[in-house]
């Protein structure tokens, strides 16, 4: 991961977070936010409270997987 991504994104690859799914993306993935930073979480729905592990961090969003509810 580049220094730039570490400064911009409040999440890091491999880290786990407890989040709430508050929206659904066009593709159907759940959307969570950490400090306003968007994280796409497949196989979730609005209202889910889940533990996620971040798989990929991009400039404006991250992709994570659900590890527990």
How sure is the predictor about 8, in pLDDT bands with cuts at 50, 70 and 90?
confident
Q: Residue 67: helix, strand or coil by DSSP?
A: strand
Nearest to 21 by CA among 29, 10, 13: 29
pTM: 0.86
Cα angle, residue 2 at apex, residues 9 and 42 outer, rounded to 5°: 50
Structure confidence by residue, pLDDT tens digits, 10-68? 999 999 999 999 999 999 999 999 999 999 999 999 999 999 999 999 999 999 999 97
**In order of start, what are the domains of the chain with their CATH numbers?**
3-68 (2.40.50.140)
Cα angle, residue 62 at apex, residues 65 and 8 outer, rounded to 5°: 145
The Cα 42–Cα 52 span in angstroms is 10
Q: Residue 12: helix, strand or coil by DSSP?
A: coil
């Amino acid at each position: 991961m580049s220094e730039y991504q570490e400064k911009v994104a409040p999440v890091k690859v491999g880290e786990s977070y407890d989040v709430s799914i508050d929206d659904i993306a066009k593709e159907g993935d759940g959307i969570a936010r950490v400090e306003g930073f968007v994280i796409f979480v497949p196989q979730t729905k609005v209202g889910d409270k889940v533990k996620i592990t971040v798989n990929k961090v991009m400039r404006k969003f991250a992709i994570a997987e659900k590890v527990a509810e």
